[in-house]
Amino acid sequence: MIYTTLDRIARYRGLCPSLDTAIDYLATADLSALKPGRNEVDGDNVFINRFGYTTLPEAEAAWEGHAQYADLHVVLAGEERIGVTDAARLTPTTRDEASDFIGYDGPVDTWCPMAPGTALIVFPEDVHMVKVQKDGPVQVEKAVFKLKV
């Protein structure tokens, strides 16, 4: 897991080629101009899912993990908390290989407050609980880079 700000993300260049591609894209792109849904960057190696939602209480949020992709979460508007726990500490509950989704049960180890300007990179070992409200429900607009690892 890497929790940072967009103005510092370039220091993580070199960790993996797909992250380098995303860092290059972030340097010049206007993320607010992305269309809802999937946006192509480098085919299945790097793409961006753009979407919005209303944040939820922690009890209503769900864990997700991935085997083939890391996620780079960027909040465009609103704020949320993302919980992160090492996959080895959680119990897998569901798996959908076609969508690279693994559901889990268990406790949150670390909370990352997310707002415009912050960035969270979660790797396959970093199971994450998204859409969690901070002080009450708010509308969030978000871009999630999917990074093939």
Spell out the per-residue pLDDT of the chain, length 149, in tens: 999 999 999 999 999 999 999 999 999 999 999 999 999 999 999 999 999 999 999 999 999 999 999 999 999 999 999 999 999 999 999 999 999 999 999 999 999 999 999 999 999 999 999 999 999 999 999 999 999 99
Report pLDDT for 19. Answer: 98
Q: Are 147 and 94 in contact (CB under 8 A)?
A: no
Looking at the domain that runs over 2-148, which CATH code has it been given? 2.60.120.370
Report pLDDT for 58. Answer: 97
Domain residue limits, the chain? 2-148
Report pLDDT for 43. Answer: 98
Read off the pTM.
Answer: 0.96
Cα separation, 80 vs 78, whole angstroms: 7
Report pLDDT for 88. Answer: 96
Task: Tell the residue number behind the tokens 């396959």, with chain if given.
Answer: 124
Which tokens hold the place of 58? Answer: 């922690």
